[in-house]
Amino acid sequence: MTDDLVEELLTGKHRALARVITKIENRQPGYREIVSRLHEHTGTADVIGITGSPGAGKSTLVDKMAATYRERGLTVGVIAIDPSSPFTGGAVLGDRIRMGSNVGDMDVFFRSMSARGSLGGLSTATTDAVKALDAFGKDKVIIETVGAGQNEIDIVKMADTVAVLVPPGSGDDVQMLKAGILEIADVFAVNKADLTGADRTVQELREMIQYRQGDVSVDAGHHGPGAGMEDLDKPGEDADGWLPPIVETVANRDEGVDEFLEALADHREYIVSAGRLAERERTRHREEIRTLLREDMSELLEEEIDHRGGLDRYVERVRERETDPYAVSDELLGPLAECVRRTREE
């Protein structure tokens, strides 16, 4: 069954691609084997992450991006991630509504995903879904997500190029950007640039990028005019100068989209040169393996906890001050650690 599915996906059957992503999302039995088999067929797609605050116009821009890539004869895969209710697990995934420019074009494969499950789970599922699209043969894979927290940042980080969308007049959003999204942006797009305040937002962003250059606390090691506070030479990835460009777009009128894609292509060219792409890939696989290890490990632990009669027993003892969380962790992990060490010595 999984054999057929992988074969069908590789031969370009849309239904098989859709079903594989479902299996990935559901973590259905056999999905690991599928992803393992797909891995060798990946590595050709250009992965682009799009993030920004709700209402920034991400979906509309993604729609226009997809249409423009299609005009150029490229195939496109899109994964749009929306939040799900932490209470019921339910979700309304609305990004598809904006995909009006690609009606009936199966070569734009658009998939909505909800942020179901745990923190690590979503980034694993997204990574795997990107692999499926990559193995299917998509030239461009776009990951679209609301930039609201660490979770989302982890997701877009696996893209080759990350674009952050900023709507005009978003003083507060700019504040939010400072909290972490700014650092991951390779390209900025001030969308809805026809609204008043766009110039000011561009100006604010420009200032912040300069600040980022001079700021030693982030890993750019520039010594531009703004630097000088510290004299440490930190060879960060941007050490020899990628300055995130700011592009003004009006996505719903298809303005600035070409310039935006140009900026993405420039960045792509920049990372491909001098082996930076390989370095990014290494970082990504490192993260991927670590995340997977953490998840698999925690699953093994869950199994052990269940075997010992569940966590509640320990919780009650902690509450009664008979033991403490550290002691419980030692007690549960102790045998595992011992077993690992014993096997290693043999």
Partner 1 sequence: MGADQEQRTVRCLVAKVGLDGHDRGAHVISRAFRDAGFEVIYSGLHRAPEEIVQATVQEDVDVLGISILSGAHDTLVPKIIDGLEEYDASGDTLVLVGGIIPDEDEEQLKELGVAEVFGPGAPMQEMIDFVRENVPDRR
Footprint of partner 1 (CB under 8 A): 14-15, 18-19, 21-22, 25-29, 32, 84-85, 88-94, 96-97, 103-106, 109-112, 114, 116-118, 120-121, 124, 292, 295-296, 298-300, 302
CB of 309 to partner 1, least distance (A): 19
H-assigned helices in 137-243: 150-156, 171-176, 182-184, 198-214
Report the residue number, 116 or 268, with the smaller CB distance to partner 1. Answer: 116
CB of 120 to partner 1, least distance (A): 8
CB of 125 to partner 1, least distance (A): 9
Report the residue number, 110 or 260, with the smaller CB distance to partner 1. Answer: 110
CB of 91 to partner 1, least distance (A): 5
Find tokens 């920004």 and name the residue: 52
Do the beta carbons of residue 137 and residue 44 sit within 8 Å? yes
Find tokens 């900025």 and name the residue: 188
Do the beta carbons of residue 178 and residue 154 sit within 8 Å? no
CB of 213 to partner 1, least distance (A): 39
Report the residue number, 54 or 89, with the smaller CB distance to partner 1. Answer: 89
Report the residue number, 312 or 345, with the smaller CB distance to partner 1. Answer: 312
CB of 23 to partner 1, least distance (A): 9
Report the residue number, 85 or 203, with the smaller CB distance to partner 1. Answer: 85
Single-letter code of the amino acid located at 118? S
Report the residue number, 90 or 275, with the smaller CB distance to partner 1. Answer: 90
Report the residue number, 22 or 44, with the smaller CB distance to partner 1. Answer: 22
Q: What span, in angstroms and rounded, lies between the C-alpha atoms of 153 and 157? A: 6
Do the beta carbons of residue 51 and residue 162 sit within 8 Å? yes
CA dihedral 223, 229, 235, 241 (to 10 degrees): -30
Residues 6+ away with beta carbon under 8 Å from 238 = 219, 220, 221, 222
DSSP per residue over 103-138, as a string? TT-TTEEEEEEE--S-HHHHHHHHHHHHHHHHHHT-
Kindly state the helix (H) or strand (E) to which residue 77 belongs, with its residue range.
strand 76-82
Residues 6+ away with beta carbon under 8 Å from 256 = 189, 193, 247, 248, 249, 250
CB of 292 to partner 1, least distance (A): 6
